[in-house]
Structure 1
Amino acid sequence: MLAAALGLVVGVVLGTLGGGGSVLAVPALVYALGLSPHDSTTGSLVIVVASSTAGALAHGRRGHVRLGRGLAFAASGLLTSVVAAHLSANLPDLLVLTGFAAVMAAAALVTWRGAGRATVAADGPTHGSTLRTVAAGAAVGALIGVFGVGGGFLAVPALVATAGFTMADAVGTSLVVIALNASAALATRATTSHVEWSVVGPFAAAAALAAVGGQLLSTRVSAPALQRTFAALLATLAGWVLVDQLVLH
């Protein structure tokens, strides 16, 4: 029941903002549900694939998925996600969690700064740079492979800034990117990592359902307010993980 409840939170955030929810999954699996860091990052990939796929389908039905450019963005991250997933198996737990805390802090900063640009990006598409889009996609793929996060907190602003997407299209398309890259990383880890299905299964199912609800919520709630609230939560969690790993341990 706790796993399902946490999955609802992750799914709502992912469906509403197009990313960020999976950043909450790893600390939830480690600190609330007792999984090891490596098992948590693998379990997070299962959750990411399920919830982002459900969210992408919901956004697609409303016409907010630009599949061609989204596939190009995802393709640029497939290789980096696979390589990073392979290398992550040899990383010590301390490095995984402190690195993850740094990712959360970066996500908080990007999300907070992006909140001020959400209204502008909603006005209409602009022209983007293909080279910058490919570079951003590769960076997102690397994060997915190492930390089991979706990378949507980077994909959404990257699609707005480098591909010229509106905010609505960036949110929907980022979920396609996340689903594809997370699937590649999960396939790489399948033979070397353990998935605690009794915990991850209910978490992923609840997250997938909530991602659809999050898509509906995104049309009714102020995006900047949601982004700033989420950014504050991420910053708090990042601080806790760093204190836990570097001071309490």
Structure 2
Amino acid sequence: MSLLDLFTNLLLGLLLGTFGGVFGIGGGLIAIPALGVLFGLDQQLAQGTALVMMVPNVLLALWRYHQRNRIELRYALALAVPGLCLAFLGSSWAVAVDAERMRMAFVGLLLVLATYNGVRVFIRPAAYSANLRHPWPWLIPLGAGSGLLGGVFGVGGAILATPVLTSVFGTTQVMAQGLSLALALPSTGITLATYALHGHVNWALGFPLAVGGLLSISWGVRLAHALPERLLRILFCVFLLLCALLLGLKA
């Protein structure tokens, strides 16, 4: 890898880390289509390489969110423990699936989530708070489902957990993103290990992205806390549509 390539990848990591901090997803959701389109990686290799950046970025973003809005430990564990177990199962299955089918399934997932979040922007929301609308043990099945989804698609499960936490459990967007990061941390770690064992990781590309992301993710977290709630939701919806478009256009 030349110095120019290294510098370019660092800049890309800076951009992806900022997005990851704003939306509480570690940057992986946009990294996967970016790696597929810009570097021609197949779906599993793109997902595995994105995880190299996601694991440290999720750790730092989780710490930053916790500093600004304390994350309740029992809530985090109820999401993270089942998420870890199901992420292993999902990733073990995903590494053997046809790459083209995986890509189209990922595009479909993004479109469903974008539609769901877009509809919610125009629906008058119920009151949000730091307290859950339902008893906290109900977070366990959410953690399991999100972990399975994250293991299959290499995104940590935050793309499912975040909207469910706000709509079903009545949390604020910022609280939901913090809890989603707590869910994503162990599940991304086990998913990365699984992808790496099956040769679906480009470490030379992933490490510069990770360094760039670590340098910028704190900016994204600060921006997330400064943005109005409704605007943050709209941006998240647009973000999902952009990811779907980039990945869908990949030949």
Q: Which of the five TM-score ranges fits, normalised by the shorter chain?
A: 0.7 to 0.9
Report the AA paired with residue 233 of structure 2: Q
Q: Secondary structure at the match of 1:190?
A: helix
Deviation at 1:36, TM superposition (A): 2.6
From 2, 5, 16, the equivalent of 2:22 is: 16
Question: Secondary structure of 2:225's partner?
Answer: coil
- Kept in 2: contact 1:7–1:203 (CA 8 A): yes
SS in 1 for 2:139: helix
Deviation at 1:50, TM superposition (A): 1.4
- Which residue does 1:77 correspond to in 2? 83
Residues 235, 198 of structure 1: alpha-carbon distance in 2 compared, 3 angstrom cutoff: same
Letter in 2 for 1:107: L
**5+ long unaligned stretches in structure 2:** 1-6
Aligned residues between the structures:
245
Deviation at 1:124, TM superposition (A): 4.3
Confirm or deny: 8 A CA contact 1:72 1:134 kept in the other structure: yes
C-alpha separation in 2, matches of 1:117 and 1:219? 22
Shift of 1:115: 4.3
SS in structure 1 at match of 2:197: coil
Change (3 A) 1:185 1:118: farther
**2:74 is aligned with 1:51:** no
Counterpart contact for 1:39–1:194, Cα < 8 Å: yes
Q: Deviations over 1:178-213 (max 9, x none)?
A: 111111212223321242222111111222232211
Q: Aligned in 2, Cα 1:240/1:40: closer, same or farther, shift over 3 Å?
A: closer
Matches of 2:127 and 2:173, distance apart in 1:
5
User: 2:8 maps to which residue?
Assistant: 2
1:1-249 equivalences in 2 (<5 Å): 1-19=7-25, 21-115=27-121, 122-130=128-136, 132-244=138-250
CA deviation vs aligned residue, 1:10-68 (integer Å, no higher than 9, x gap): 22222122238321111111111232322111112222211111100111122332222
1:145 positional shift: 1.1
Structure 1 residues 108 and 64: CA distance shift in structure 2, 3 A: farther
Tell me, in whole angstroms, the C-alpha distance in 2 between the residues paired with 1:123 and 1:171: 14
Contact persistence 1:107–1:234 (CA under 8 A): yes
| 1:120 shift after superposition | 5.1
Give how far 1:131 is off.
5.6
Q: Distance in 2 between matches of 1:36 and 1:126?
A: 40
What root-mean-square deviation, in Å, do the aligned CA atoms of Structure 1 and Structure 2 show?
2.5
Secondary structure of the 1:11 match is: helix
Normalising by structure 1, we get a TM-score of 0.86
**Percent identity of paired positions between Structure 1 and Structure 2:** 26
Distance 1:2 1:230 in 2: 25
**TM-score after normalising by structure 2:** 0.85
Structure 1 residues 219-228 or 208-217, which shifts more?
Answer: 219-228
CA–CA distance in structure 2, aligned partners of residues 29 and 61 of structure 1: 31
